[in-house]
Chains A and B, each alone.
Chain A
Amino acid sequence: NAGVTQTPKFQVLKTGQSMTLQCAQDMNHNSMYWYRQDPGMGLRLIYYSASEGTTDKGEVPNGYNVSRLNKREFSLRLESAAPSQTSVYFCASVPRAGGYEQYFGPGTRLTVT
């Protein structure tokens, strides 16, 4: 099993450009999450999907949209990138909600100039 995979690993965008970060898991997990991590900080939740077909906002959703394409895939879209969105983005999944460890992908390092 590959676990949680993310693409791309690195990306540089100019202000105003758009892009989609891809996340996939092969563990048949129900719930998936997107976080951002700024330097010297912990992770902050952007959006999550408790189950296929549902999505909801986390702590810092402004400037982002998500799509739970199917049970395996959960994408994060930046419609008009801003320098404040420069960060490392992590995707995670859990078998189901209710007190389980989260499995994290390796991250996408995004720089917006």
Chain B
Amino acid sequence: SQQGEEDPQALSIQEGENATMNCSYKTSINNLQWYRQNSGRGLVHLILIRSNEREKHSGRLRVTLDTSKKSSSLLITASRAADTASYFCATDAYGGAQKLVFGQGTRLTINP
């Protein structure tokens, strides 16, 4: 079973707009990570937020974490065509072994 559920499953926006993706999970976590996957490629790490953090920024990315609601969101500001990809959240609930559990992903399309 997959820990994370992402919403929406697909998102299509115009270049320059902001994109927001949400992730919900079921059990307590140590940290939550976001990854990007371009079509036919491996996953690339974007950002990691620990359970005691509420918000984190990296360039045009902003991630929030609400452990009381067991949810996280990824905001991409001023989107670009190159941001077209699938985005996955992954939760680390096991600590030492770091066994990530992935959501099913959000497919983001940026239209020029």
* Contact indicator B98/A105 (Cβ below 8 Å): no
Known contacts A40-B104, A41-B104; A90/B43 CB under 8 A? yes
* Contact indicator B104/A102 (Cβ below 8 Å): no
Q: 8 Å CB contacts to B: which residues of A55-110?
A: 56, 58-59, 90, 92, 94, 97-107
Contacts of A40 in B (CB 8 A): 104-105
Total count of chain A residues near the partner, CB < 8 A: 29
Contacts of B102 in A (CB 8 A): 35, 42-44
Rounded to whole angstroms, the CA-CA distance of A102 and B48 in the bound complex is 10
Look across to chain B and name the residue whose beta carbon is closest to the beta carbon of A35.
B102
* Contact indicator A42/B4 (Cβ below 8 Å): yes
Chain B residues with a Cβ under 8 A of chain A:
1-2, 4, 30-31, 33, 35, 40-45, 48, 50, 88, 90, 92, 95-105
